[in-house]
Structure 1
Amino acid sequence: MHRRRFITLGGTSLCALPILTSTAFTFINKNDSKMPPWLVELVKRNDNSVENLLKFQVSDPKSPDFGGVADGFGILNPHSTSALVQVGGNAVFSPDSKFYKSDELLEKMKLAVLYLLKIQHSDGTIDLLSTNFHSTPDTAFLVKRLAIAYTLIDRSQATFAQSVLTELKKFLLNAGEALVKGGIHTPNHRWVVTAALTRLNGLWPDTRYVDRANEWLGEHIDIDADGQYNEKSTFIYSSLTDRLLITIAAGLDKLELLESVRKNLNMTMYYVHPNGEIVTDASGRQDKAVVGTLENYYYPYRYLAMLDKNGSYSAMCKMIEETAGGKIGGFLDYLLADSTLWEALPPVKALPLNYVKAFPISGLVRIRRNRWDSTLIAKNPVWFTFMKGNAVVQGVRFASSFFGKGQFQTEEVKANGAYFELTQKLEGPYWQPYPKDAIAPDGDWEKMPRTNRPQSEVQHLETNVRIRETKEGMEIEVSTNGTERVPAALEIIFRPGGELKGVTKIEGTKDSWLLAANTGTYTVGSDTISFGPGLALHKNIALRGALSPMDAPTVFLTGFTPFKHTIRFS
Structure 2
Amino acid sequence: MNRNDFLKLGTMAALSPLFVKATAADFSAPVDTELMNRLLTANNQQASLLMTSVKEGNLRFSRMIAYDIAVLTAAYCAKGSTYYHNAEVVSKIDLLVKFLASAQSADGTVNVGNLESPPDTAFLIEILGPAASIMRKDNSNDLKDVQQQLKEILLKAGEGLVTGGIHTPNHRWVICAALAQINHLYPHQKYINRINDWLGEGVYIDADGHYPERSGIYSGVENTAFITVARLANKPSLYAPVRKNLSMYYYYIEPNGELVRNDSRRQDQYEYAAKTSTLFYLQYRFMAVHEKNKLFAAICKQIEATKDFEKDVLTRSLFYFLEDEILQQQLPTAETVSDRYEKLFPTSHLLRIKEKNTTMTLFGGTDQPLLIASGRSNSPDFFSYRRGDAVLKYMRLSSSFFSMGYFYSDGLKKEGNSYVLRKKLEIPYYQPLPKEKRKANGDYKLSPSVDDRFWNKMDFSNRPVSNVKTLETIIRLTEIRGTVELEFELKGMKGVPVTIELCFKEGGQLTGVAAADANGNSFLEQGTGEYRSGNDVINFGPGANTHKQVLNLEGERYSTHFGTLRTKGEHVYITGTTPFKHKLTFS
Class of the TM-score when normalised by the shorter of the 2 chains = 0.7 to 0.9
Deviations 1:221-257 (A, max 9, x none): 12111012111111x1112211211111111211111
Equivalent residue runs for 1:288-367 within 5 Å = 288-290=269-271, 291-323=274-306, 324-326=308-310, 327-329=312-314, 330-367=316-353
Residue from 358, 361, 373 that aligns with 2:359: 373
Q: Aligned with 2:268: secondary structure?
A: coil
Distance 1:202 1:444, change over 3 A: closer
Aligned to 2:7: none
Q: State the alpha-carbon separation in 1 of the partners of residues 161 and 461 from structure 2.
A: 49
Letter in 1 for 2:183: N
1:221 paired to 2:203: yes
Q: State the alpha-carbon separation in 1 of the partners of residues 169 and 395 from structure 2.
A: 31
Letter in 2 for 1:321: E
Residue from 135, 139, 152 that aligns with 2:117: 135
Q: State the alpha-carbon separation in 1 of the partners of residues 85 and 244 from structure 2.
A: 41
Q: State the alpha-carbon separation in 2 of the partners of residues 455 and 533 from structure 1.
A: 40
Q: Does 335-344 or 390-399 show the bigger shift?
A: 335-344
Residue from 475, 490, 501 that aligns with 2:485: 475
Residue 270 of structure 1 contacts residue 352 of structure 1 at CA under 8 Å; is this kept in 2? no
Q: State the alpha-carbon separation in 1 of the partners of residues 225 and 186 from structure 2.
A: 19
Aligned to 1:5: none
Residue from 428, 445, 464 that aligns with 2:474: 464
Equivalent residue runs for 1:79-98 within 5 Å = 79-98=63-82
How many angstroms does 1:319 deviate by?
Answer: 0.8
Residue 102 of structure 1 contacts residue 158 of structure 1 at CA under 8 Å; is this kept in 2? no
Q: State the alpha-carbon separation in 1 of the partners of residues 135 and 243 from structure 2.
A: 32
How many angstroms does 1:82 deviate by?
Answer: 2.4
* Structure 1: runs of 5+ lacking an equivalent: 1-7, 11-27, 61-68, 71-75
How many angstroms does 1:494 deviate by?
Answer: 1.0
Aligned to 2:171: 189
Letter in 2 for 1:301: Y
Residue 246 of structure 1 contacts residue 258 of structure 1 at CA under 8 Å; is this kept in 2? yes
Deviations 1:94-116 (A, max 9, x none): 12322111111111111211122
How many angstroms does 1:332 deviate by?
Answer: 2.4
Aligned to 2:533: 524
Letter in 2 for 1:311: K
* Structure 2: runs of 5+ lacking an equivalent: 4-15, 22-30, 367-378, 445-455, 559-563
How many angstroms does 1:151 deviate by?
Answer: 1.7
Q: Aligned with 2:144: secondary structure?
A: helix
Residue 440 of structure 1 contacts residue 448 of structure 1 at CA under 8 Å; is this kept in 2? no
1:107 paired to 2:124: no
Aligned to 1:389: 388
Q: State the alpha-carbon separation in 1 of the partners of residues 530 and 138 from structure 2.
A: 58
Q: State the alpha-carbon separation in 1 of the partners of residues 427 and 225 from structure 2.
A: 49
Q: State the alpha-carbon separation in 2 of the partners of residues 182 and 90 from structure 1.
A: 30
Q: State the alpha-carbon separation in 1 of the partners of residues 552 and 457 from structure 2.
A: 31
Letter in 2 for 1:360: P
Deviations 1:72-96 (A, max 9, x none): xxxx215233222111111111123
Letter in 2 for 1:148: P
Letter in 2 for 1:253: N
Aligned to 1:274: 255
Aligned to 1:283: 264
Letter in 1 for 2:297: S
Residue from 472, 489, 493 that aligns with 2:503: 493
1:484 paired to 2:484: no
Q: State the alpha-carbon separation in 1 of the partners of residues 69 and 335 from structure 2.
A: 39
How many angstroms does 1:50 deviate by?
Answer: 2.7
Aligned to 1:559: 576
Letter in 1 for 2:348: S
Q: Does 33-42 or 527-536 show the bigger shift?
A: 33-42
How many angstroms does 1:450 deviate by?
Answer: 3.8
Letter in 2 for 1:208: K
Aligned to 2:225: 244
Aligned to 2:9: none
Q: Aligned with 1:178: secondary structure?
A: helix
Q: Does 268-277 or 355-364 show the bigger shift?
A: 268-277
Letter in 2 for 1:497: G
Deviations 1:521-565 (A, max 9, x none): 111111110000000111112256647443321111111000110
Q: Aligned with 1:215: secondary structure?
A: helix
Q: State the alpha-carbon separation in 1 of the partners of residues 125 and 2 from structure 2.
A: 21
Residue 504 of structure 1 contacts residue 515 of structure 1 at CA under 8 Å; is this kept in 2? yes
Letter in 1 for 2:503: I
Q: Aligned with 1:415: secondary structure?
A: strand
Q: Does 397-406 or 424-433 show the bigger shift?
A: 424-433
Deviations 1:504-528 (A, max 9, x none): 01124x1211001310011111111
Residue 18 of structure 2 contacts residue 78 of structure 2 at CA under 8 Å; is this kept in 1? no
How many angstroms does 1:458 deviate by?
Answer: 1.8
Letter in 2 for 1:297: F
Q: Does 436-445 or 370-379 show the bigger shift?
A: 436-445
Distance 1:444 1:214, change over 3 A: closer
Aligned to 2:49: 52
Residue 42 of structure 1 contacts residue 332 of structure 1 at CA under 8 Å; is this kept in 2? yes
- Structure of higher RCO (CA pairs closer than 8 Å, 6+ residues apart): 1
Q: Aligned with 1:198: secondary structure?
A: helix
Aligned to 1:426: 425
Give the TM-score of the pair, scaled to structure 2. Answer: 0.85
How many angstroms does 1:38 deviate by?
Answer: 2.1
How many angstroms does 1:280 deviate by?
Answer: 1.5
Deviations 1:194-233 (A, max 9, x none): 1111111111110101111111111121211101211111
Letter in 2 for 1:567: L
Distance 1:9 1:281, change over 3 A: farther
Deviations 1:51-75 (A, max 9, x none): 4345543426xxxxxxxx63xxxxx
Residue from 32, 39, 45 that aligns with 1:42: 39
Distance 1:107 1:428, change over 3 A: same
Letter in 2 for 1:494: F
Q: Aligned with 1:92: secondary structure?
A: helix
How many angstroms does 1:190 deviate by?
Answer: 1.0
Distance 1:279 1:122, change over 3 A: same
Residue 542 of structure 2 contacts residue 583 of structure 2 at CA under 8 Å; is this kept in 1? yes
Residue 398 of structure 1 contacts residue 491 of structure 1 at CA under 8 Å; is this kept in 2? yes
Distance 1:347 1:427, change over 3 A: same
Q: State the alpha-carbon separation in 1 of the partners of residues 233 and 438 from structure 2.
A: 66
How many angstroms does 1:46 deviate by?
Answer: 1.9
Residue 290 of structure 2 contacts residue 326 of structure 2 at CA under 8 Å; is this kept in 1? no
Residue 29 of structure 1 contacts residue 338 of structure 1 at CA under 8 Å; is this kept in 2? no
Q: State the alpha-carbon separation in 2 of the partners of residues 481 and 31 from structure 1.
A: 66
Q: State the alpha-carbon separation in 1 of the partners of residues 296 and 328 from structure 2.
A: 15
Letter in 2 for 1:520: G
Letter in 1 for 2:480: T
Matched residues, number: 530
Residue 371 of structure 1 contacts residue 389 of structure 1 at CA under 8 Å; is this kept in 2? yes
Q: Does 558-567 or 211-220 show the bigger shift?
A: 211-220
Q: State the alpha-carbon separation in 2 of the partners of residues 507 and 171 from structure 1.
A: 58
Q: Does 352-361 or 519-528 show the bigger shift?
A: 352-361
Distance 1:267 1:32, change over 3 A: closer
Letter in 2 for 1:554: H
Letter in 1 for 2:290: L
Q: Percent identity?
A: 37
How many angstroms does 1:493 deviate by?
Answer: 1.1
Q: Aligned with 1:107: secondary structure?
A: helix
Residue from 235, 239, 260 that aligns with 2:241: 260
